[in-house]
Amino acid sequence: MISVLIVEDNEDIQLLLQTVVSRNDDYSCIGVVSTGTDALKKIPELLPDVVLMDIGLPDISGIDCVRKLKPLCPNVEFIMCTVYDEDEKVFQSLEAGANSYILKKSKPELLLTAIREVYEGGSPMSSDIARKIVAKMQRQGQPRTSYGITPREEDVLRMLSKGLTYTETADQLFISVKTLKKHIYNIYEKLHVDNKVEALNKFFGKY
């Protein structure tokens, strides 16, 4: 079972997120806090598998919370769950240590999929957020090296850059999810990275 802690100051959204997480037996909501101060205290104590982190908290921003917590809790995965889709907040969140960036307007199924994939080492995000990252990398226009990435592995990277889930990516490439995960493992090994954001960043050019 995947343990989830929610950091959110809006009571209605707290309840919504709790409901989404708790209605599936594979997930367990082990706590809800409404401030950054409480998050900094509770997360190191409870060590959830995944944290759903709001950005606009009343005291400390969610981005600053992740930046402080990630070195202390390296095995805790952070998903930014927010209404903001501005480029700068996206990139600041990922640079702070978040592995996923999901908009609150996303469907509940996408949120549960994101929790599962982050727990399994992935970095899912809304498709519009993924496009922002790719667009900025393309604007950067830096030359890149191949790092020994095969054409098939590059196909995998391009599909993942669109914000698709593992299942959607596997379907698009006509391979099994197991085979896809093997490709992703090989990509991470060749690029010496730990997650999708770092892989896209390194292969396509630093955003």
Statement to judge: residues 163 and 77 lie in one domain: no
CATH number for 152:
1.10.10.10
Asked if residue 131 is part of any domain, the answer here is no
Tell me what pLDDT residue 27 has.
93
Phi-psi region of 81 (alpha: psi -120 to 50; beta: other; left: phi over 0): beta
Alpha carbon distance 127, 85 (integer Å): 11
Total count of domains within the chain: 2
Alpha carbon distance 77, 35 (integer Å): 18
Indicate the pTM of the whole model: 0.66
Collect all residues with Cβ–Cβ distance below 8 Å to 68 and sequence separation of at least 6. 40
Which ranges of the chain have pLDDT less than 70? 84-87, 125-145, 205-207
Query: For the segment 5-21, what is each residue's pLDDT rounded down to a tens digit?
Result: 999 999 999 999 999 99
Domain span including residue 22: 2-126
